[in-house]
Structure 1
Amino acid sequence: MAAVSTPALSQDELRLRDRLLEDLEHRGNAVVTVAPEDAEPGFCFTAGAWWKHGVPEAVVIGLPPRMGPVLLDAYVDRAAMGERFLPGVLYRDFFDGVPLTFEHVSQQHYPQYFGSAYVLYPDGAFPAVQIIVPTPDGYWPWSVDAPAGFDQWQPVLTRTGRPESWTPEN
């Protein structure tokens, strides 16, 4: 059997991988935060949830800077304990009074929204979900009455760019 080789990582990539692995060992989870730039919203994502716990990596886009990592930590903690989150279902117990939902992330979005995770998964073979949060007034990015530009501030990372699992009756 021939040995499998992976592309060599740069020194920066090796440092990033080491930092992510250290976070996984000490915290059980690593979160990477990307600051907003120009008209693009900031976002954060997990790196290593699949590796360590066998749960999908997750991304959240457009939340205030301190909210995203807290939400991702809560997701990984709960998922690592065996709780499963179904796309399209409303979950009302992450934030007081604010529901959220999950959606599968299409692999076409992995390079942009999970780029640093490739130091752990060079072949990009990991499942991922997006955690979607409505406005404080309850408008989802796809809502007709959502504030102008909200769908750009929190894009839906499915293949179609629309919710594909949405079950609003929950």
Structure 2
Amino acid sequence: MPDQFEWPDPEHAADEVILRNVRTHGCHIVGIPDAEPPFAFSIGLFLNYGHAELIIFGQRSETAQAIINLVRDRIANGHQFVDGDISGDFLENDYKLGFRQVPFSAYSEYLGTAIWFYGNSRLAFPCLQVVWQDADRRFPWEVDCSSAVKKGQPLLKKTVS
């Protein structure tokens, strides 16, 4: 895939930081802390590891970045997460993360910088939403999940439980 990738031309100093982070760290994380709810997403996982990019909602910037980096480290070691995976290996106290495919219809609303990054190459990059549980270990698609947790992380892929 890297032979099919064409690096975008940086227009600002921030773009140069993105390109440097993708080259140096395997990905760059874009945080949108002022959105309601706040969210963060990766750029570079698809290029460097052939893995879907990641997006997570409803966490403080530092927490979102830490979670994405933990998942990136696992990906860098060869693990591939796919739609429907649930993992208990990242968070304390047996809390789990779920992975759900993000529909292309949501990309323009949430993944603008990633669209810019992959735009010259016309690569249709995949993206997974990283979903976390409430205090009672329920995911937002489960009936009794906390309403605050449901509100804090909109499910981009509608799931029936």
Name the CA distance, whole Å, in 1 between partners of 2:81 and 2:96. Answer: 13
Name the CA distance, whole Å, in 2 between partners of 1:36 and 1:147. Answer: 22
Stretches (4+) displaced over 6 A? none
Name the CA distance, whole Å, in 1 between partners of 2:146 and 2:123. Answer: 34
For the 8 Å contact 2:82–2:128, the answer to whether it is kept is no
- Root-mean-square deviation over aligned CA pairs: 2.2
**In the alignment, residue 11 of structure 1 is paired with which amino acid?**
E
Other-structure match for 2:3 = none
The structure with the largest helix share of the pair is 2
For the 8 Å contact 2:43–2:53, the answer to whether it is kept is yes
Given the superposition, is the C-alpha separation of residues 86 and 67 from structure 1 closer, same or farther in structure 2, using an over 3 Å criterion?
same
Other-structure match for 1:23 = 21
Deviation of residue 87 (structure 1)? 2.3
Per-residue Cα deviation, 1:18-41 (whole angstroms, up to 9, x for no partner): 22110012222210000133xx11
* Among candidates 95, 120, 128, match of residue 98 of structure 1: 95
Name the CA distance, whole Å, in 1 between partners of 2:15 and 2:34. Answer: 23
Other-structure match for 2:134 = 135
Which TM-score applies when normalising by structure 1? Answer: 0.79
Name the CA distance, whole Å, in 1 between partners of 2:68 and 2:142. Answer: 24
Stretches of structure 2 that go unaligned for 5 or more consecutive residues are 1-5
Name the CA distance, whole Å, in 1 between partners of 2:11 and 2:86. Answer: 42
Stretches of structure 1 that go unaligned for 5 or more consecutive residues are 1-5
**In the alignment, residue 41 of structure 1 is paired with which amino acid?**
P
Other-structure match for 1:76 = 72
Deviation of residue 76 (structure 1)? 1.4
For the 8 Å contact 2:40–2:56, the answer to whether it is kept is yes
Other-structure match for 2:57 = 61
Calculate percent identity across the aligned residue pairs: 26
Name the CA distance, whole Å, in 1 between partners of 2:135 and 2:34. Answer: 20
Q: Which has the larger radius of gyration?
A: 1
Given the superposition, is the C-alpha separation of residues 36 and 145 from structure 1 closer, same or farther in structure 2, using an over 3 Å criterion?
farther
Deviation of residue 136 (structure 1)? 2.2
For the 8 Å contact 2:84–2:98, the answer to whether it is kept is yes
Name the CA distance, whole Å, in 1 between partners of 2:20 and 2:71. Answer: 19
Which TM-score applies when normalising by structure 2? Answer: 0.83
Name the CA distance, whole Å, in 2 between partners of 1:57 and 1:148. Answer: 27
Other-structure match for 1:3 = none
For the 8 Å contact 2:97–2:133, the answer to whether it is kept is yes
